[in-house]
Structure 1
Amino acid sequence: MKSIWLGLTIGFLGIGCQQLKAQDFQFSQYYAAPLYLNPAFTGTGKMHRFTANGRMQWPHLPKAYRTIAVSYDYNLEKLSSGFGLLLTKDAAGSGDLGNTNVGFLYSYKTSINDQLVISAGTHFAYNFAGLNRNGLTLGDQLASDRDVSFDTELTNVQNIQYFDFSTGVLVYSKMFWGGVAFHHITEPNMSLVGDSNPLDMKISVHAGIRIPLYRGPKEFDNISSIAPSFIYKQQGEFNQLDIGINWHYDPISAGIWYRGVPFGKSEQSDLYDRDALVFMFGFKFPEFEAGYSYDFTISELGGSSGGAHEISIVYDFVAKIKQKRKERFLPCPTF
């Protein structure tokens, strides 16, 4: 390969092998990134909800894969609707190869009965993808001690922009949620060099349940509970299952998760399986929760990658004007 592909490969290694197949980044604390998980979660909070998620993957590699997501959504009960905004950004390598995505989300909710709500949501997004050429150091620069590369292959690398569309459905009660989401329905072309590299549609199935272990003096005052949940994702030839459990004892939360390829062996080799054990610790209050998790790699890549560090913050609150009104819909349970 020519020197430009060496530079791109360095960036891809920082991003993680999934990106070689134009696949999505992920959060281990997926339940703390509800709008990214499924657009049907839009407006399922109490009223106003802010979330922030940050992830550093494989930190032992130079310029590790960094991901952030910030969102806000609003539960407009009188229209049975939810509105949201979601910003995500990922980058890796010396060239900061990555994507910036800005999206608007909408959902509509209806009650099946007094205990069950169904929500359908959509996500319209605009994406910017590209490479920071100024951050690359290529072979001809090293050979001639120049600050600028004259490699002709570099001119073939172009930043791109495209529209994206996703949709999903969610069913939930006070203690349970389950849904399915379809991301990248239009399968946009991700290639930076003018050829074809479509972003395969991602299908995810996810569910969870909160089980009280000890109730306080009030009816819904759950002092202690456990919350098992899972997410299964399939994108192109790639599939993955995350399954685990969180334990909560007011206000402390802790959890353990397993991530792996559930059906057969990954065709791309063990390096791509990205099997990991995820350990989570956090605090949960009525309107605010924060969590930290660490991915301990158990595939052939082992400890040389440094695993992954992740933090999440959720602020879910009700404006005072709403406290005197009866809620039309149940809030989605938190985990």
Structure 2
Amino acid sequence: MKKIYTLILIMIQLTVFAQDPEFSQYYAAPLYMNPAFTGTAADHRFIANYRNQWPNITTAFQTYAVSYDYNMEKLNSGFGLLVTQDKAGSANMKSTQANFQYSYKVHLKDKWMLSTGLNFGLGFRSVDYNKLVFYDQLEFDQDGIRLPPPSNLNLQNTSYFDFGAGILAYSRKIWIGVSTAHLNRPNRSLTNDEAEIPTKTSIHGGIRIPLYHGVFKRDRVAAIAPSFVYKRQGKFDQLDIGTYFLYEPVVVGLWYRGIPIKQNVRDNISQDAVVVILGFQLKTFEFSYSYDITVSDLGPISGGAHELALKFNIELATQARTKKREKFIPCPTFNK
């Protein structure tokens, strides 16, 4: 039964306009969400993300992302590299994309920053059709040997150019941004047909609230950070809303993914998952794990989703840069 389900997933990927892969820990993958986040840390930042969605289904969906970005303060600019790969199904369907990102920052009044970002990507898509079993192969020749795959599949690897942009406004405690991916609607068909990637729009924001009263000690950072992200791509839309709680070095989070005021095609509440996050945050190193508890019609049979995020921040601590750092306002999501 799992093999049949896997084959269905692959055929869906081949024939419909698939949405982009997603990360539940979306603020742990900032360059993936909005190129305007490029260079919003103090100096150098390295991030690695991994997501395993629906693990109970054989080789269902796995997503990887690795990014590096740097704040070049003299140019009011940020530069970044982002590489993502999404794997689906037993036929090893892969979508890999390498992205160069650039952002430019402007100091506004009242200690606000405005960052505009661009994303230039080169994508590659492939599938190993020799691992698929097609209808024609269910027949056998006179010697009882299964027939080879049909020769008229016309499946081939493909490459495409991708372009996106975003804007982000933030102070030391508040941030709000908008990004649009796939502005050129690239075609990534494996069969020389039309398979455009729909434009994806994301609106996201949040606030960081310090906690220094009662049981929280002043020598340890304590804060909550409620936030949201709304995404729309083609006919698909999604809302994630929740909060982080940090009591240094421990970080916990709780998120809900769904749109309760909307109904799906089966007239049920449009909801997907409740996400639980646990991690720790040090000065230059952060690690977090999250689990998606599926609350949609798919239910617990899917196995939910596991996700890991790893981040390194490397600050070049010299006296000259320390004086300049006072003029730089880092994004509150990723700094203390």
Is 1:176–2:167 an aligned residue pair?
Answer: no
The answer to whether the Cα contact below 8 Å between 1:7 and 1:137 also exists between their aligned partners in 2 is no
Q: What percentage of residue pairs aligned between the two structures are identical?
A: 47
Aligned residue type for 2:86? D
Q: C-alpha displacement at 1:93, in angstroms?
A: 0.7
TM-score, with structure 2 as normaliser: 0.89
Q: Indicate how the Cα distance of structure 1 residues 7 and 287 shifts in structure 2: closer, same or farther if over 3 A, else same.
A: closer
Is 1:190–2:182 an aligned residue pair?
Answer: no
Aligned residue type for 2:183? I
Equivalent position of 2:313 in the other structure? 316
**Alpha-carbon displacement from aligned partner over 1:85-128 (angstroms, at most 9, x marks no partner):** 00000011111113000010000001002511000000000000
State how far apart, in whole Å, the 2-side matches of 1:248 and 1:6 are: 40
Q: Indicate how the Cα distance of structure 1 residues 297 and 161 shifts in structure 2: closer, same or farther if over 3 A, else same.
A: same
The answer to whether the Cα contact below 8 Å between 2:294 and 2:304 also exists between their aligned partners in 1 is yes
In the alignment, which of 280, 283, 286 is matched to residue 283 of structure 1? 280
Equivalent position of 1:84 in the other structure? 80
Q: C-alpha displacement at 1:158, in angstroms?
A: 2.0
State how far apart, in whole Å, the 2-side matches of 1:232 and 1:102 are: 24
State how far apart, in whole Å, the 2-side matches of 1:6 and 1:31 are: 32
Matched ranges for 1:31-180 at <5 A: 31-113=27-109, 115-141=111-137, 143-144=139-140, 149-154=148-153, 156-180=154-178
Q: Indicate how the Cα distance of structure 1 residues 162 and 263 shifts in structure 2: closer, same or farther if over 3 A, else same.
A: farther
Equivalent position of 2:229 in the other structure? 231
The answer to whether the Cα contact below 8 Å between 1:101 and 1:126 also exists between their aligned partners in 2 is yes
**Alpha-carbon displacement from aligned partner over 1:41-79 (angstroms, at most 9, x marks no partner):** 001111000000000000000112000000000100000
The answer to whether the Cα contact below 8 Å between 2:260 and 2:269 also exists between their aligned partners in 1 is no
Q: Indicate how the Cα distance of structure 1 residues 151 and 6 shifts in structure 2: closer, same or farther if over 3 A, else same.
A: farther
Q: C-alpha displacement at 1:157, in angstroms?
A: 1.9
Equivalent position of 1:295 in the other structure? 292
State how far apart, in whole Å, the 2-side matches of 1:139 and 1:162 are: 30
Q: Indicate how the Cα distance of structure 1 residues 199 and 80 shifts in structure 2: closer, same or farther if over 3 A, else same.
A: same
Q: Indicate how the Cα distance of structure 1 residues 271 and 45 shifts in structure 2: closer, same or farther if over 3 A, else same.
A: farther
The answer to whether the Cα contact below 8 Å between 1:276 and 1:299 also exists between their aligned partners in 2 is yes
State how far apart, in whole Å, the 1-side matches of 2:86 and 2:293 are: 21
State how far apart, in whole Å, the 2-side matches of 1:293 and 1:271 are: 26
RMSD of equivalent CA atoms: 2.6
State how far apart, in whole Å, the 2-side matches of 1:68 and 1:182 are: 21
Gapped runs of 5+ residues in structure 1?
none
Aligned residue type for 2:162? D
Q: Indicate how the Cα distance of structure 1 residues 128 and 262 shifts in structure 2: closer, same or farther if over 3 A, else same.
A: farther
Q: C-alpha displacement at 1:289, in angstroms?
A: 0.8
State how far apart, in whole Å, the 1-side matches of 2:147 and 2:119 are: 40
State how far apart, in whole Å, the 2-side matches of 1:280 and 1:7 are: 28
Q: C-alpha displacement at 1:12, in angstroms?
A: 5.2
The answer to whether the Cα contact below 8 Å between 1:271 and 1:299 also exists between their aligned partners in 2 is no
Q: Residue 330 of structure 1 aligns to a residue in which SS?
A: coil
State how far apart, in whole Å, the 1-side matches of 2:78 and 2:145 are: 53
State how far apart, in whole Å, the 2-side matches of 1:296 and 1:72 are: 30
Equivalent position of 1:11 in the other structure? 10
The answer to whether the Cα contact below 8 Å between 1:53 and 1:68 also exists between their aligned partners in 2 is yes
Aligned residue type for 1:294? Y
Q: C-alpha displacement at 1:136, in angstroms?
A: 2.5
Q: C-alpha displacement at 1:222, in angstroms?
A: 5.7
The answer to whether the Cα contact below 8 Å between 2:130 and 2:149 also exists between their aligned partners in 1 is no
The answer to whether the Cα contact below 8 Å between 2:139 and 2:146 also exists between their aligned partners in 1 is no
The answer to whether the Cα contact below 8 Å between 1:214 and 1:222 also exists between their aligned partners in 2 is no
State how far apart, in whole Å, the 2-side matches of 1:272 and 1:123 are: 35
Q: Residue 10 of structure 2 aligns to a residue in which SS?
A: helix
State how far apart, in whole Å, the 2-side matches of 1:108 and 1:51 are: 21
Q: C-alpha displacement at 1:195, in angstroms?
A: 2.1
Equivalent position of 2:301 in the other structure? 304
Is 1:255–2:238 an aligned residue pair?
Answer: no
Aligned residue type for 2:329? L
State how far apart, in whole Å, the 1-side matches of 2:18 and 2:6 are: 17
State how far apart, in whole Å, the 1-side matches of 2:203 and 2:167 are: 10
Q: Tell me whether 46-55 or 195-204 shows the greater mean CA deviation.
A: 195-204
TM-score, with structure 1 as normaliser: 0.89
Equivalent position of 2:324 in the other structure? 326
Q: C-alpha displacement at 1:288, in angstroms?
A: 1.1
Q: Give the number of equivalent residue pairs.
A: 324
- Structure 1 segments, 4+ long, off by >4 Å, are 5-8, 139-143, 145-148, 215-218, 269-274
